[in-house]
Amino acid sequence: MLRKYMLFLWIAIGLASIYPFPVRAQEERQVILLTASGPITPAMAEYLDRGLGHAERELAEALVFQLDTPGGSIDLMNRMVQRIRNSQVPVVIYIAPRGAIAGSAGTVITLAGHVAAMAPETAIGAASPVGAQGEDLGETIEAKQKEILKATVRSLASRRGEQAIALAEATIEAATAVSAEEALEAGLIDFIATDLDDLLVQLNGFTVELSTGERTLNTVGVGMVEVAQSFIEQLLQVLTNPNVVFLLITVGVQAILIEISAPGGWVAGFIGVACLALGTYGLGILPVNWFGLVFMVTAFVLFWLEIEAPTYGALTVAGLASFIVGALVLFNSPTTPSFQRVSVPLVIGVAVAIGLFFMTVITFALKAMRRPVEVGVEALIGRLGEARTDIAPRGMVQVAGELWSAEVEDGELEVRAGERVEVVGVEGLRLSIRSVVQKIS
């Protein structure tokens, strides 16, 4: 009997080894989705790298990188292109949603995808190189950069035909930009997809060339799994916004000035240091005009001098003028892309807020200077205290933490111990008081 059970057990094990359960093949096939918008930054490159690593570990059918970008640095573009081309998983670059663009470096990244697709009403192109500050390059350097980029796009578009190669080169040489329909007609992209579901339908059966060989996509019934940006990646992406960096630097310096002018606390100082630390990251990524930074530093020095040695607004006016000039040129130049510029209304609004703050400070300072200086016992007039004994008409009161001899003001009734009193006069070392009719329990 035992032999029969053992025989059945071995047969079952043998059948299981011959017909394995197709768990991953049928139930866990998935397409990984990454979504990124804004300028190309180190955080975006890191996000793509992390997403591709996840897709490769999960043996995903494909990775869809939904992109909307005005462009970015050539170094970061090259890093992302290399990662895409060496991916073990097919990468689909999808320019979406409607109204999105793949400008400048985004054009090259789109061509690097194993599949390129665009949503309706999107655009691609205008990939001419510019300098780190957004300025036009010198003739020799520009020619070199253009030739390198043209060679890159020729290589990436080689499988797409001569018309696609010519258009790709035109985006570099003449900053040409085209619509999704024009890009599809030229063969620069593979599909126009209205949404992600439509994209998956069109991808099914499409053959791509990976570094490991050809693969035919099977996207029927696959699940779309989105890998969102981490908090750190989102934070670093925000910190490359010139408006955010401008605000962080401004708030940081102002908070430190408050801490210096009124030491003893730590909240303002901590906020200032934290804001400056975050803002410094953005300064290291964005194309900073150091001329503008010098003007802003000068403005903050003038604000500090106004606090230390008030000039009734003269230094504040000079500081505001320097602040506005510095802020307007901090990331701005005639050829700087709009996405790398500080908003002019934001600069004016912050300058007005700083001006109102210093006007308030100066107003209070002037009122304090005009108030007569009170010294000695005369400063006790108007202070409240407590009767320590019955005062009829003389007794003892406690005012400002000290015991004083006191007498009731002429015409006032007797004051009982414990009642609230107000100092109305001083005669030598004796206070003249009156009851405020508020007994202290």
Instruction: Give the C-alpha separation, 254 to 291, whole Å.
Output: 20
Contact of 430 with 397, CB cutoff 8 Å: no
- The candidate with the shortest Cα–Cα distance to 275, out of 306, 295, 254, 302, is 254
3-state SS assignment for residue 174: coil
What phi and psi values does residue 333 have, to the nearest 5 degrees?
-150, 165
Instruction: Give the C-alpha separation, 59 to 218, whole Å.
Output: 13
Instruction: Give the C-alpha separation, 62 to 31, whole Å.
Output: 5
CA distances from 255 to 235, 276, 354 (A): 21, 10, 12
Helices (H), 228-266: 231-238, 242-261
Instruction: Give the C-alpha separation, 275 to 255, whole Å.
Output: 9
| Known active-site residue 146 | yes
| Known active-site residue 104 | yes
Exposure pattern of 215-230 as b/e (b: 16+ CB <10 Å)?
bebebeebeeeebebe
Instruction: Give the C-alpha separation, 199 to 187, whole Å.
Output: 17
What phi and psi values does residue 68 have, to the nearest 5 degrees?
-145, 100
| Cβ-based neighbour number of residue 202 at 10 Å | 17
Beta strands 115-118 and 91-95: pairing type? parallel
From the candidates 146, 155, 261, 405, which is the catalytic residue?
A: 146
Burial class (CB in 10 A: 0-12, 13-18, 19+), 171: buried
What phi and psi values does residue 192 have, to the nearest 5 degrees?
-115, 115
The residue written with tokens 């430190």 in the block is 256
Instruction: Give the C-alpha separation, 57 to 88, whole Å.
Output: 10
Strand ranges (DSSP E) for 131-206?
Answer: 177-179, 191-192
Provide the token pair at 399: 């005012």
Q: What is the CA radius of gyration of the chain?
A: 37
From the candidates 104, 128, 322, 435, which is the catalytic residue?
A: 104
Instruction: Give the C-alpha separation, 254 to 260, whole Å.
Output: 10
Q: Which residues form the catalytic set?
A: 104, 146
